Structures are given as structure tokens and as C-alpha cells.
Amino acid sequence: MMAGVGITAYGAYVPITRLDRAAIAKANAWFGGPRGKGDKAVSGWDEDVCTMAVEAARDCLENFDRAQIDAVWLASTTAPFADRQNAGIVKEALNLGDVTGALDAGGSQRVATSQLMAAFGMSKGTGQTILQVTGERTQPKPASAREMSSGDAAAALLVGTKDVIAELIGTHSVTADFVDHFREAGSQADYDWEARWVRDEGYVKIMGDAIVDALAACRIEGGLVDHLIVPIAARGVPEMLARKAGISPNALADQLDGSVGHAGAAHPLLMLAAVLEKAKPGETILLSAFGQGADVILLRVTDRIGTTRPRLGVSGWLARKQASDNYLKYLFHRGHLALDRGMRAEHDEKTALPAMWRQRKGTMALVGGKCSKTGTVQFPKTEMSVNSNDHAIRTQEDYPLAEIPARVMTYTADSLTYSPDPPTCYGNVEFEGGGRLMAEFTDVDPQAIEVGDEMRMMFRIKAIDEKRGFRRYFWKAAPAF
């Protein structure tokens, strides 16, 4: 058992688009595809695990001094890069110092909880503050049961020893090469085995026993668990596991299946973030995860739970919603539908890596410049100030703009320029306190944009170099929320 270490802040991110499952069922009815109710969260073409993790981290760090973060750890089975540190991308976007550690982990649906347990150990032993982020951008086969049940999302937790809002009671982990599904390196979609066998041999036996053993090891009776998190997209299984452990079914946390879908390895921490929004001091949380074994983490909510809250949290992101029934658009953005993109899409997106390195603060973290002599704010930061009355030289200091509200000065919706999600919306935005930027807009209704609208910057994919397998990131303006 550990004491004095735990979660100090939490956050989440759910993409704005919610695809109606009825549209999926209707499109695949001729083939006998699965049925489903509610919506699933669908990331846009310019979103991936890294961009979603950044938004979850920003949600988590709303009231936290980022200079205190010692490391960024990212857990995902669908991270965009196999040999480029994805956690490093998140670190850059958050404008953290170069002495910040970074670590990627993958390979299992319980990788986020396994990494979280390691973060608890690291923080307890060293006193470090670790930002644990996780996200999934699922890639199921069309007309599959997994396509119907899955969704895209991200979550973030801050692990430390000061101002803990949910203290670690204990952990328990079991590893067994039980292959309920798999995806070979280089493949896109998972291969799933028969659901009943997975339920009886995997969930009930392996995960059920792990929950029982964890409670015994921590000397906690099942009836004392106030929140039971079972991130499994299988009807009836959470209730079965609760009964096996002697936990009240009323303690079962919302699966978020009708509003988000199952977000893979990110789902345990997404559900935990949702639980922390309503948890009360003294309550006990049991967090579980399954994947070639099982992880169980027991937490006790402290009286500091109300002292820090995310910017939006799971509930806030769920309220920020754009309904969609465009299944073909979803297939195109997932790469399952090869549309004729036209001649305007036939340009090379090669990224000059030396230039990207030299300008990384501007492009990755949206750091502009502020003249120490005149106070003029500008983007990008340059050797010469843009102040019309004083072109001062080398007077600019770093001035981060990502968290500063902006307003629309000019806008257009361009249907001629190629975009995976036409029309391309862009325009000039002016930041509160000064500084202007010609920016692309995202998550907008082209018919609803107006001059003066308040915008918030969001970290997104700028372009994808499909020829070389590289993606370039930048910041886009989205309607304020």
C-alpha cells in the first residue's frame, strides 16, 4: 500500500462530432451489419492521438503552473508515430521546458492504467509531478461490431504528492497472454474473437478475480466501493463483475457508451475523469482495465476534491456537440473510402525538418513575441518589432498565445482550395491584448461565422505528407467554449 501520492488534477477531451449510430446501421443494413443506439464520438481529419491528448492536458492544467511538470507520459495503441516520440509532440504543444521527460507506451488496452501505476511509483519515489495523458483514434473495419461500439477520446491526469484530490490506496496487476483481439504491427484494424468466450474466460475469470484479489490485498470490502469503473464494451459484464466482488451495482460508473463509445486504452482514464467530476470526499474509487491480464487501482477521494476542476471535463465536452449522420464522410476521414480529391490536392506536403526545428516554439506551441520596449505583440516572433512607430531590434520576448482568447477580424469559406472537409474556413484573428494571426478555423459552421466572434486556439494537424508518412501540426481557431 502507498500513501501520500495520487491524482492532483484531471481533464478530458471528446471530439465535437458525434456520429449517429443509426446512420452506420442504415448504411450497412444491406450487408447485415450490427445495430446500435446513441452516438459515437468521431475525431476530425485534422485530429489524432497527439492533438486530442494536448486538449485533454490543457483541460487538466487549467489552474496549474506548467513549470512544475517534470514529465509527460502518453499511453495509446493508435499513436500516429512508431518512431517519433508522441509524448514529445504533446510536450512541445504545451510549451513545457526542454528538461521535461517524456515516455510513450502502447501494446495493450490496459496500457494507460499500467502507465498510471508506474507514474504513482515514480512520483512517490522521486517527488516528481507527472502528466499522464492517453488517447485513442480508433480504426475499426466498416460494418463491424467494433465500429459500432468504439469512439475517439482522450484523458489526462496529473500525478503528484502535493494537493492530492484522489489518494492512492493500492494497486493489483495480473498479466496473462489471453488474446481476445489483436492487431499486428502495420495493420489498421483489430481482429476480434468470439464475444461469449472472451466474456466467460477473460472478463469474468481474469478481470473478476483481479478485482476480488485487489480488494482483499487492500483490506477493503466490496460494499465499501462507491465508484466501480469497468471500461468494457460488453453488455452485462460490469454487473457480473460487481456481483462477483460484492460491489453494489449502483456503484457502477457510466460507461459513456451512448455518447462517446469505447475509447480503447483511453477509456479507463476517461471514465475516471468523469467520476472525479462528481466524487465526494471520503469516497472509494475502484478503477479496472483489461488487456492480456488486468489492472486494478484503488483510490480514496480527499477533501481537496473541490479545489481544482478542469476547464470543461467530460460533461463539458459532451455538451459541446455537433450531430452528424454523414457516414461516408466518416469513412473518408478514416481512409476507408478513396475519393477523387481533384487536381488541387496534387501538391507536395514535404516538411522541411530544419525549418520546423528552428521555428518549433512558434509552430508547435504558438509562441509569439512581445516587444519589451513598446509592448507590441506579434506573431511570428522576429528580430524586428512590427510596431509602426518603433521598429526596435532584438527587443522581443517569448509570448505564448495558445491560451489567450481571440476574436474574428475577417473570414472566408473557400470551396476552391482543397480540404478533406470543405469548405476551408480561415481568416484573421486578433488576440486579446494584441497580436494577429491568419488562421484556419476548425469545428465551425461555415454559415454561422461572424466578425467579432470569440475564438479559442486548438492544436491540430495542419497537413499530412502521405508520400513520406509525416504530419505537420499547427494551431487553428475554434469557436470559444
Indicate whether 104 and 222 sit together in one domain: yes
Categorize the per-residue pLDDT at 63 as very low, low, confident or very high, splitting at 50, 70 and 90. Answer: confident
Query: Whole-angstrom Cα distance, residue 238 to residue 299?
Result: 19
Which CATH number fits the domain that encloses residue 164?
Answer: 3.40.47.10
Indicate whether 65 and 91 sit together in one domain: yes
- 368 located within any domain: no
Copy the grid coordinates of residue 8: 492532483
Indicate whether 150 and 93 sit together in one domain: yes
pLDDT score at 448: 94
Categorize the per-residue pLDDT at 161 as very low, low, confident or very high, splitting at 50, 70 and 90. Answer: very high
pLDDT score at 1: 37
Residues in a beta bridge with 104? 74
pTM for this predicted structure: 0.96
* b/e code 242-273 from CB counts within 10 Å (16+ = b): bebbebeeebbbebbbebbbbbbbbbbbbbbb
| pLDDT over threshold 90, residue 3 | no
Indicate whether 137 and 283 sit together in one domain: yes
| pLDDT over threshold 70, residue 276 | yes
Query: What Å distances lie between residue 355 and 155, 228, 299, CA to CA?
Result: 31, 49, 46
Indicate whether 258 and 348 sit together in one domain: no
Categorize the per-residue pLDDT at 187 as very low, low, confident or very high, splitting at 50, 70 and 90. Answer: confident
Model pLDDT for residues 295-354, shown as the tens digit of each residue: 999 999 999 998 999 999 999 999 999 999 999 999 999 999 999 988 888 888 999 999
> Over the chain, what is the mean pLDDT?
95
Structural domain boundaries enclosing 17: 6-333
Model pLDDT for residues 432-450, shown as the tens digit of each residue: 999 999 999 999 999 999 9
Indicate whether 163 and 294 sit together in one domain: yes
Q: What is the DSSP letter of 141?
A: P
- 390 located within any domain: no
pLDDT score at 97: 96
pLDDT score at 347: 86
pLDDT score at 290: 97
pLDDT score at 214: 98
Indicate whether 184 and 275 sit together in one domain: yes
Number of domains composing the chain: 2
Q: Could you give the percent of the chain with pLDDT greater than 90?
A: 92
Higher pLDDT, residue 2 or 260: 260
Half-sphere exposure (Cβ direction) of 430: Cα atoms closer than 13 Å: 9
Indicate whether 33 and 98 sit together in one domain: yes
Please list, in sequence order, all residues whose beta carbon lies within 8 angstroms of the beta carbon of residue 77, skipping any fewer than 6 positions away.
Answer: 106, 107, 108, 109, 111, 136, 183, 264, 265
Q: Any idea what the Cα angle at residue 239 is, between residues 235 and 241, rounded to 5°?
A: 110
Query: Whole-angstrom Cα distance, residue 325 to residue 330?
Result: 9
Indicate whether 62 and 205 sit together in one domain: yes
Contact 312, 296 (CB under 8 A): no
Which CATH number fits the domain that encloses residue 462?
Answer: 2.40.50
The alpha carbon torsion through 401, 403, 408, 414 (nearest 10 deg) reads: 80
pLDDT score at 222: 97
Query: Whole-angstrom Cα distance, residue 421 to residue 45?
Result: 8
- 389 located within any domain: no
pLDDT score at 33: 83
Query: Whole-angstrom Cα distance, residue 220 to residue 229?
Result: 16
| pLDDT over threshold 70, residue 2 | no
Model pLDDT for residues 71-121, shown as the tens digit of each residue: 999 999 999 999 999 999 999 999 999 999 999 999 999 999 999 999 999
pLDDT score at 399: 97
| pLDDT over threshold 50, residue 233 | yes
- 370 located within any domain: no
Q: Report, as an integer, the average pLDDT of 22-41.
A: 93
